[in-house]
Amino acid sequence: MRSELSQSRPARLRHAIDGLMTGVFTGAGLIAIAFIFLIFFFTLRESLPVFINPEVKEEANLRAFFIEAQPGDSMIDRYIWQPTSANPKMSFIPLILGTLKATLVGLLVAIPLGVAAALFTAEFAPRRLREVIKPVIELLAGIPSVVLGFFALIVLATWVQDLFGFTYRLNAWNAGLALGLALIPIVFSITEDGFTAVPRSYRDASLALGSTRLQTAIKVVLPAAAPAIFAAFVLAFGRAIGETMILLMAGGNAAITSFDLADPLRTLSATIAAELGEVVFGSGHYAALFFMGTLLFVITFISNTAGELVIRAMRKRMQGEG
Amino acid sequence: MSGDSWVPSVLPAYRRRPLLDRLWVALLGLSVVLILLALFLILGNIAINGAGQLSWEFISQPPREGLTAGGIYPAIVGTAMLVMIMTVVAVPFGVATAVYLHEYTPAEGPRLAWVRFRASAGRKGRAKLLLRFVSTLLAVATRSAVANLAGVPSIVFGLFGLGFFIQFVGGGMDRALHGGEIVWGQGNLIWAALTLALLTLPTVIVATEEALRTVAWEQREASLALGATRWETIRRIVLPAAMPGILTGGILGISRGAGEVAPILFTGAAYYLPYLPERLTDQFMHLGYHVLILSTQSPDVEATKPILFGTVFVLLALTFLLNLTGVLIRARTRSKMREGR
Amino acid sequence: MTTLDFERRVETNRPVTSMQQQAADVRTKISVRDFDFYYGENQVLHGISLEIPEKQVTALIGPSGCGKSTFLRSINRMNDTIPGTRVGGVISIDGLDVNTPGLDVVALRRRVGMVFQKSNPFPKSVFENVAYGLRIGGLRDRGLMEEIVEKSLRRAALWDEVKDRLNASALALSGGQQQRLCIARALAVDPDILLMDEPASALDPIATQKIEELIWELKDNYTIVIVTHNMQQAARVSDRTAFFMLGKLVEYDDTNTIFMNPAQKMTEDYITGRFG
């Protein structure tokens, strides 16, 4: 047999190819990695003028963003975002408020529905039903947010207004409802994974003590999957904060400071989307928008990291006891 | 279990309320019904109002009369070209990065690598151990960055696309190659596609690494023990085994990228062009962008509504087609592996 | 530094140096001198010295964690894949130090085949599994490939059971069949030496017996080194046995001597089951 193997491809060629491919993968990897880090640093760099450029700082600075208030009695009059007027006002407050309002409604819709649906699917649904529900949720997840925004703007707003009699057609309720729909698949899949990951032995122990399936589901499985529910909350929160299209189209596009959920709103992301097209390169407005982007970056980073830490801690606790 | 008669008298009275229990479960099930209902309403509404628009003219003709009549052919072409370029960039780089992270960077964490480096004081091979340590740091930092990038709002990518690709790179290219004339320093196919590719990169990387992880270490060992090089092992054993996961992740990333509008708002999309995009420097029409403009900036909302619904229908159909393809490919490669080709 | 192509090594007819080898015409295949092994700062093997004879079965026994698997893997340098390891001393095959700088490890691993504790067939067909080593070696002649695959499967006593389903998935075979497939796969590239790391520990008694019979047949053509925690297996199957303990070689002799009349007390204690 030995002589046949002298037919083998020379070892030197194989080693050369191996070395080449190592270079290819390392090179491609490093390029992609470089770009990933570049996004962080570039966005940060373009918002630096807010801190260091004197011309930009005249209008766009931290004080203007977060503290400065105009003369007036009501909140609406005092915090204004109007970067393109003769006397530019750049308070982020109305935008932050808008973001929070929409997020609140979105989570209010998505978390109960998503968790309940996940619990039902994991603990009570017969197998055939489960295999229908999961693809349906995936279908919902596959709907582009521009489509959801369109639906909320053209169809949903009318229904909601007819139903509740709001003054404005586009408001936090409308946008938040559509946003909630977009968040449901995230909440559902994470919590459902969490429920199915609860060990069978927990359920068996509970049932063996004479509990009903419902009691088992609520008192044993639900608490055991607490890290997953928290993770779902955090991820949905992050997604809601950053969601652009739905809120741009269905929120009403009014940057006003109001706590009323029936008022139109504008979020941070939607502001960037709405105004970046006409901003002057290098101006205070430009830097302010980039700063907004950095802010969104930081918020998502913090919420993701916080979520991960809490999950890790919860898991350790559970494994320590369990 | 019939009643409470068998319960020892020591325990407090324990009343079961089976009817109430069933009600609660029904309530839980109601959530599923509500979700299904919402989905049905949305898709149904779009189907009813949009399907009627579908005709050969709609798909193959450009828009006329200020977007109130005609078809959306250019938007379909633009979307297709954009997605293709995005895929060609994102998938190879994403897979390569994941392979690099999983197969070429050291498996131990930075802490262990540092300990080994410190312990090797005064022995040869120290430089190698230092390099190892640095690559473990890189691997950890990259995985963390990728995970965070996946959660970054899509508009931020649009920011980056505008500021970096268009202003910085495009502007620089124009100053160097065209003497200040604006050729590259504006929105076009290539910048938009690169921006979208960055958006989908984390999805592809994460899905590919997951798929690589499912290939048991013993498989690689067996291949190496037979005298294969690392690349031969990756090419013949690891990648084929991980292919279903890689394909699924790739398709998932692609279908998500096809539906994103925020990143292309300022990097190349236009709502009316009298020509089809032919070169990388051309602008393009886009289905999602068309929906946005028609919804929010249409001069006559009622007149454009039919076109709008039709466009949404086509966009949805394309997205679902992509998703379905992904599911089918995944199922097919899985069954192929079971037969052992 | 040029790559020393292991396939063109010079065969040496070294005289037998070990005191324990009785027959004058038994050649040494693997020569180990003062071999040390370190996992980072942790020394796992201490000064191992022994001569493994050609075309015989040598068993490595000892309590778990004593380093016998690590030693086995050092022969074909599979420990290179684990980071932070260091070696001292010499392991030579046919007179050539396997740790020579510049040595083509890929070629070494073709000469030294390995079978693992848990069978690890590739998720490919039976044929493709056995042909894997040939394909990466560049063999393209389909006829020759089929010939070698059949020969290997016969040598591994698996041919009759799979000849009608060469294209079926290897994962559809039973545990014992999969392990024999892995042996056939290793044999296909024509190694001189076969290293087996507890090859039957995951198998039922009947499959184990088949593997042991196979080992007995294979030694006519291959030098076999087998790690096993099953002493009866070592006694049944091997010609020579090495007893390892805490990373040191305690005793190495003919199998009969080790099991009936061991020189060291520790060996005797282990054999009779007093520990381990």
Residue A296: give its domain's CATH number. Answer: 1.10.3720.10
Cβ–Cβ of B32/A25 closer than 8 Å? no
Instruction: Categorize the per-residue pLDDT at A320 as very low, low, confident or very high, splitting at 50, 70 and 90.
Output: low
Q: Are C241 and C259 in contact (CB under 8 A)?
A: yes
Q: How many of the other CB atoms lie within 10 Å of CB of C91?
A: 21
- The tens digit of pLDDT for each residue in C38-95 reads 987 789 999 999 999 999 999 999 988 888 999 999 999 988 887 778 899 999 998 8
Q: Which pLDDT score, from 0 to 100, does residue A132 have?
A: 86
Long-range contacts of B295-301 (CB under 8 A, 24+ apart): B295/A149, B295/A150, B295/A153, B295/A154, B295/A249, B296/A153, B296/A248, B296/A249, B297/B271, B298/B67, B299/B66, B300/B68
In a domain, A59, yes or no: no
Tokens of B232: 């031969």
Q: Which pLDDT score, from 0 to 100, does residue C55 have?
A: 93
Q: How many helices (H) and strands (E) are present in chain B, helices listed first? A: 13, 2
ipTM rounded to 2 decimals = 0.85
Cα(B53)–Cα(A303) distance, integer angstroms: 44
In a domain, A36, yes or no: yes
Cβ–Cβ of B227/C41 closer than 8 Å? no
| Mean pLDDT of the region B277-306 | 86
Statement to judge: residues A195 and A277 lie in one domain: yes
Statement to judge: residues A119 and A162 lie in one domain: yes
Statement to judge: residues A89 and A25 lie in one domain: no
Tokens of C106: 């890929």
Cβ–Cβ of C122/B339 closer than 8 Å? no
What range defines the domain where residue A271 resides? 75-321
Looking at the structure of chain A, the number of domains it has is 2
Cα(B31)–Cα(C41) distance, integer angstroms: 59
Helix axes C175-188, C126-136, angle to 10 degrees: 20
- Cβ-nearest to B221 among C120, C121, C128: C120
- The amino acid at C187: L
Q: How many of the other CB atoms lie within 10 Å of CB of B219?
A: 17
Q: Which pLDDT score, from 0 to 100, does residue C19 have?
A: 44
Q: A17, A48, A143, A311: which to substitute to probe chain B, counting the most B Cβ within 10 Å?
A: A143
Task: Judge whether residue B184 has pLDDT over 50.
Answer: yes
In a domain, A69, yes or no: no
* Contacts with C106 from chain A: Cβ below 8 Å: 11, 14-15
Q: Is C164 exposed, middle or buried (0-12, 13-18, 19+ CB in 10 A)?
A: exposed
Cβ–Cβ of C132/B223 closer than 8 Å? yes
In a domain, A132, yes or no: yes
The H or E element spanning position A308 is helix A284-321
Q: Which residue(s) pair with C91 in the sheet?
A: C32
Q: Is the minimum CB–CB distance between B104 and chain A shorter than 8 Å?
A: yes
Cβ–Cβ of B108/C84 closer than 8 Å? yes
Domain with residues B42-340, CATH architecture = Orthogonal Bundle (1.10)
- Cβ-nearest to A8 among C3, C104, C139: C139
Q: How many of the other CB atoms lie within 10 Å of CB of B89?
A: 19
Tokens of A295: 């802010």
Statement to judge: residues A46 and A152 lie in one domain: no
Statement to judge: residues A23 and A148 lie in one domain: no
Instruction: Categorize the per-residue pLDDT at B337 as very low, low, confident or very high, splitting at 50, 70 and 90.
Output: low
Statement to judge: residues A26 and A142 lie in one domain: no
Task: Judge whether residue A209 has pLDDT over 90.
Answer: no
Statement to judge: residues A24 and A90 lie in one domain: no
Q: Which pLDDT score, from 0 to 100, does residue C65 have?
A: 81
Q: Is the minimum CB–CB distance between B201 and chain A shorter than 8 Å?
A: yes
Q: How many residues does chain A have?
A: 322
Q: In what order do the strands lie in the sheet with C28-39?
A: C42-53, C28-39, C85-93, C96-97
**Residues in CB range of A207: below 8 A, 6 or more apart:** A213, A216
Cα(C276)–Cα(C272) distance, integer angstroms: 10
**Residues in CB range of B173: below 8 A, 6 or more apart:** B183, B184, B185
Statement to judge: residues A89 and A237 lie in one domain: yes
Higher pLDDT, C105 or B195: B195
Could you tell me the end-to-end alpha-carbon distance of chain B, in angstroms, rounded to an integer?
A: 53
Query: Closest by alpha carbon to B69, among B268, B272, B261?
Result: B272
Cα(B50)–Cα(B189) distance, integer angstroms: 28
In a domain, A66, yes or no: no
Statement to judge: residues A40 and A155 lie in one domain: no
CA distances from A56 to A96, A284, A285, A288, B47 (A): 22, 5, 8, 9, 49
In a domain, A188, yes or no: yes
Could you tell me the end-to-end alpha-carbon distance of chain C, in angstroms, rounded to an integer?
A: 46
Cβ–Cβ of B340/C132 closer than 8 Å? no
Q: B28, B297, B324: which to substitute to probe chain A, counting the most A Cβ within 10 Å?
A: B28
B340 dihedral zone (left: phi>0; alpha: psi -120 to 50; beta)? left
Statement to judge: residues A155 and A247 lie in one domain: yes
- Cβ-nearest to A33 among B97, B158, B296: B97
Q: Which pLDDT score, from 0 to 100, does residue A322 have?
A: 40
- The amino acid at A312: R
Q: Which pLDDT score, from 0 to 100, does residue C178 have?
A: 93
- The tens digit of pLDDT for each residue in A58-79 reads 777 888 888 887 888 777 778 8
Q: Are C11 and C92 in contact (CB under 8 A)?
A: no
Domain ranges in chain B are 42-340
Q: Which pLDDT score, from 0 to 100, does residue A163 have?
A: 87
Q: Are A272 and A243 in contact (CB under 8 A)?
A: no
